[in-house]
Amino acid sequence: MRKIISFNKDWIFIKEGNSEAVTIPHTWNAVDGQTGPEQYYRGVCTYQKTFKKPIMENNERCYIEFNGVNSSCTVILNETKIAEHNGGYSTFRCDITDYFQNENNLKVFVDNSPNDKVYPQRADFTFYGGIYRDVNLIIVDESHFDLDYYGSRGLYVTPKIKDNNAIIEIEAYFTGKVDEVVVSIDSVIETALYPTFENGKGKVKETIEIKNPHLWNGIADPYLYNITATLIKDKRAVDRIYSRFGIREYYVDSEKGFFLNGKSYPLHGVSRHQDRAGVGNALTKEMHENDMDIILSMGANSIRLAHYQHDSYFYDLCDEKGIIVWAEIPYITIHMPTARENTISQMKELITQNYNHPSIICWALSNEITLQGVTDDLIENHKILNDLVHQMDSSRLSAMANLFMLETDSPLITLPDLRGYNLYYGWYVGDMEDNDRWFDDFHREYPNVAIGLTEYGADSVINLQSPKPEKGDYTESYQAVYHEHMLEMFSTRPYIWGTYCWNMFEFAAAGRDEAGDPGKNHKGLVTFDRKEKKDAFYIYKAWWSDEPFVHICSKRYHDRVEPVTEVKVYSNQSNITLFVDGKEFESKNGKHIFKFNVPIHGIHKITAKSNDLVDAIEIEKVSVPNPNYFASPDKGKNWFDEPEITEETGCNYLSLSSTMAEIQSTDEGKVLLDNMMQSMGSKVAGGMGKGVKIPKAMMAVVARQPLNKLLTQAGIELDSDEAKKLSQALSKIKKV
């Protein structure tokens, strides 16, 4: 019978001639991939291991299984190349039986260097190199369930609901001759299936009916059935595999949103990257479990697993907890005509390896792939992937997350079954209210097209605080205000089938250098190390979670210069009473958000109560702002004061305070802006803005913005040489 042996220990890792002993999972970018903005190491490193031939019967085969090697690798056993793999997020295996010696030397050459063949190559996250998920040896009888087809396990279960019953379609594939395949469900339903053979491969296909099935019903009741499949040869069981499945049905309505098992089920979602501080992407099971616990505690019921295939263990957790999952491949940011085959192979791996997970509702084709425009080759690639998804899995939807600058009349919008937009109004461009306008306009123009919000967010560095938060200041305060607005916006638009906050956790983005904390994307509601929940986390908890709580915002804003300070409380309770230094200050009824204006002098203890629920903070009135609350203390940026007027107002010449529309209305100004936008592109989001093509609809939003706001957002200080030169050039151009 099948034996699975962990192969994680006793590896030697070699980088640039230096070697060290390591245990898998391992990445060589756990430090430099998280600190930025210097280029992290991208190249070829070697993992080496010596081992004795495992004990095997004469009729057995041995496979080596890699569950994640980023991003390309070559496997050499005893100086013979036995496998190559391109794709850093999926499982692959190879049969090593015929290459064994008594003493064996295994080398794995791992390469995360830039190329034009393997996705991803340009994206706002770190491409960690290494063997960062488990490695196993799998010893099986010569007749065994298939281990060769795109990393699958050889068993596919497709439940379909018919009236009050469920029809379970079962397909199994195997290698070698067997007499029958015995399938049992929960050790209650058991049936023997008789295979057909072709070219040494066997197959069975059958349906089993379950009367009055127990449905997989999301968070409330994520019921799972257990299925066992056994190969019988000469009246003896020679191989056995296990899986789980859930019985559910769902659909998306363009007016009413997402439905699960016939009932409205609004998707309250977050996005998740797999890495964390100090370990990169080499996570333990306990770390995956910790992520899930945090997500559930906030009240989310759906996760977008971005931007690649995640660890199979995390999909298992989603099944067990009732989480609805958006799964996708890393076909992202820029289309590479030379990498079409890689998108196809990664999609095949994603589907075959995760087919039985009831949590997954869609296979996403790409993310923000139109950054540099839409070409015929890009559209053809998507058509191929869309057809492939439907061919391989008719029970699920194809999906696509679109760049917020993609025109809504693009043929890519309606190509997949499910579509979403990634909108960042209120952060990268425009105002928070532009999100409302965008969805209202889209729904009015395309009332029969279901639309979701697959990304939205605002960066915050947790120590940055302000009583006057504004877009671009990177404060925890502004991030909270931004998400307050977004949640209100969702609540009045039920046609939005799902929303996915970007991001649940901060993550590494080696190209970024922002707000004094380089190498990270700071949009997470929770810090990179998972130790601190930002205020924005709690406004979601107030809307989504049934767990009673009270949270006072701005705990990290201790030193306050304003004589009357706002104390804001998030809660899912209906009444909050505020106490100042032990005395009742005010009691308010409300929903989600409670605001109190408190005069301060000296040090105060502020307590918020609702029945037995209590939260408290300490604040202090100071005369001088705390410089630790500023994003750029060396530049003296200060949100506590009103902006200083340094340019003459009411004059006939342009300035940094002029709007983009005012500047673009002049020929000289338009040339200046074109040059500036090209320069800014390399600075925005770690260089992700380079080569962006901005459509007319977005330019209308950009046109309302003052230039100085856009410069600040791009990380260009207004007293920098770059900004001063631009200011001087503008001052010579007359307004129209």
Residues identified as active-site: 368
Query: 30: number of CA atoms within 13 Å, CB side?
Result: 14
Collapsed DSSP state (helix, strand, coil) of residue 230: strand
- The sign of the torsion formed by the CA atoms of 424, 506, 475, 724 equals negative
Q: Position 344: which residue type? A: I
Backbone angles phi, psi at 71, to 5 degrees: -115, -25
Phi/psi region, residue 540 (left: phi>0; alpha: psi -120 to 50; beta: rest), is: alpha
* Strands 397-403 and 360-367, sheet pairing: parallel
| C-alpha to C-alpha distance for 168 and 79, rounded to whole angstroms | 46
How are beta strands 603-610 and 592-599 bridged, if at all? unpaired
- State the CB neighbour count (10 A cutoff) for residue 209: 11
- Tell me the backbone φ, ψ of residue 669, rounded to 5 degrees: -65, -40
* C-alpha closest to that of 288 among 252, 263, 262, 313: 313
Residue among 50, 123, 38 at smallest CA distance from 88: 123
Two tokens, residue 65: 């299984």
45: tokens are 């490193």
Contact 730/669 with Cβ under 8 angstroms? Answer: yes
Compute the distance between CA of residue 468 and CA of residue 554 in angstroms, rounded to an integer.
Answer: 12
Q: d(Cα 189, Cα 8) in Å, to the nearest integer? A: 37
Closest of 92, 91, 108, 94 to residue 62, by C-alpha: 94
Residue 250 and residue 260 in contact, taking contact as beta carbons nearer than 8 Å:
yes
Query: What's the rounded Cα separation, in Å, for the pair 734 and 666?
Result: 8
CB 600 within 8 A of CB 580: no
CB atoms within 10 A of CB 266: 20
Three-state SS for 96-141 is CHHHCCCEEEEEEEEECCCCCCCCCCCCCCCCCCEECCCEEEEEEE
| DSSP letter for each residue of 634-703 | GGT--TTSPPP--S-SS-SB--TTSBHHHHHTSHHHHHHHHHHHHHHHTTGGGGTTTT----HHHHHHHT
Q: Is 84 helix (H, G, I), strand (E, B) or coil?
A: strand
Q: Is 359 exposed, middle or buried (0-12, 13-18, 19+ CB in 10 A)?
A: buried
Indicate the helix (H) or strand (E) that contains 167.
Answer: strand 165-175
